[in-house]
Amino acid sequence: MIELQWPLLLIVIPLPYLVWRFFPPAESAAGQALRTPFFNEWAEFNETGASAVTPRVHIYILPMLAWIFFVIACAKPIWIGEPMPLSSSGRDLMLAVDLSGSMERADFYINNQQVDRLTAVKSVASQFIKQRQGDRLGLILFGRRAYVQTPLTYDRSTVGTMMLESEIGLAGKETAIGDAIGLAVKRLRDLDKDSRVLILLTDGANTAGEVEPLQAAKLAAESGLKIYTIGVGADKMEVSTFFGSRTVDPSSDLDETTLQAIADATGGHYFRAKDTKELRQIYQKLDQLEPTVGETQMFRPIVDLFHWPLGISLFFLILLGMLRFSFLIPTLLRLKSHD
């Protein structure tokens, strides 16, 4: 439906008529006049020609219509559409991703092609981000240092792009798990306690930073931040040596005890991803633990329409000018023929 945001402005529509009706025209000063040669011829033409062709249309009707539509435009008409549902979980979710040097180990597979750990994380996490409709998402990248790559936003496309553009070693080669948790606490502590979640993914142990992971977990628990931890890395890998191939554990540096303690302290869960399939299942499990379906709100789209009556008003003014000009030209031609 159409509504006027400022409908009271419509009371000024009769203002030009009231001024014309109740206020007399200004009197011309005595002695002031403009002498016009051929004035008699001009008056004769107006009486017999112009006034007969234009029965006051361009004098009264067009200006009146232009004024009415101008006032309607000033009243700011809008079109209010049908109510539409807007689902929002109200959840603020931070992703913390390890970019340390060990993430370049190629012990994961995507479509039967061997890839490094970060490439597998990007592939799975980017899909997880796309599905978090209604959440505010943020991205923390950490290595030797932790920093916010993307602050909390509803723009899932930007968060996904920043995730895909992250590179190993961008934040240093070491691992500052405690600093990453502390940074998430700082960013989320002033928000609703029931909606704050951190998903921390790493493949190693805390080897850098100023805050110990368990100390940071304690601060997170006090502020109501729930942390889900994910440890990534295969438990077996064939490597080639001078004496032939041998089996090694590429995840020997993974500190599962600390990651489990962090999750327990904050009411979250610890997950272990040994391959891409398990990593994908973990993010599916997180979708179940922290569902996106929330309270449904209704909104009505609004479209401004003021430019339509404003354009009509301008059209009438242009038409008025063209009519007056069209009657002026024959008059001038006739006067010229009298010379």
CATH of the domain at 118: 3.40.50.410
User: Do residues 227 and 327 both lie within one domain?
Assistant: no
Q: How far apart are CA 134 and CA 90, in angstroms?
A: 7
Q: What is the pLDDT along the chain (339 residues), one digit of tens a residue?
A: 788 889 999 999 999 888 888 887 766 555 555 555 544 544 554 544 444 444 455 667 888 899 999 999 999 999 887 776 555 556 789 999 999 998 998 889 999 899 999 999 999 999 999 888 778 899 999 999 999 999 998 888 999 999 999 999 888 889 999 999 999 999 888 776 667 899 999 998 999 999 999 999 999 999 989 999 999 998 877 666 656 666 667 788 899 999 999 999 999 999 999 999 999 999 989 888 877 655 455 667 788 899 999 999 999 888 887 877 766 666 555 655 555
Task: Provide the domain count of the chain.
Answer: 2
Beta strand 113-115 pairing with 108-110: antiparallel
- Specify burial of residue 153 (Cβ count, 10 A radius: 0-12, 13-18, 19+): middle
Continuous H helices in the chain? 15-22, 39-45, 51-53, 62-74, 117-131, 156-165, 177-188, 213-222, 256-266, 276-289, 307-338
Q: How far apart are CA 307 and CA 79, in angstroms?
A: 12
At 171 the pLDDT is 84
Residues 6 or more apart in contact with residue 221 via CB below 8 angstroms = 265, 266, 267
Q: How far apart are CA 279 and CA 259, in angstroms?
A: 16
At 261 the pLDDT is 96
> Has residue 31 been placed in a domain?
no
User: Do residues 122 and 7 both lie within one domain?
Assistant: no
> Has residue 226 been placed in a domain?
yes
User: Do residues 181 and 228 both lie within one domain?
Assistant: yes
Domain that holds residue 196: 86-297
At 302 the pLDDT is 83
> Has residue 28 been placed in a domain?
no
> Has residue 264 been placed in a domain?
yes
Q: End of a domain among 282, 297, 312? A: 297
> Has residue 311 been placed in a domain?
yes
At 297 the pLDDT is 58
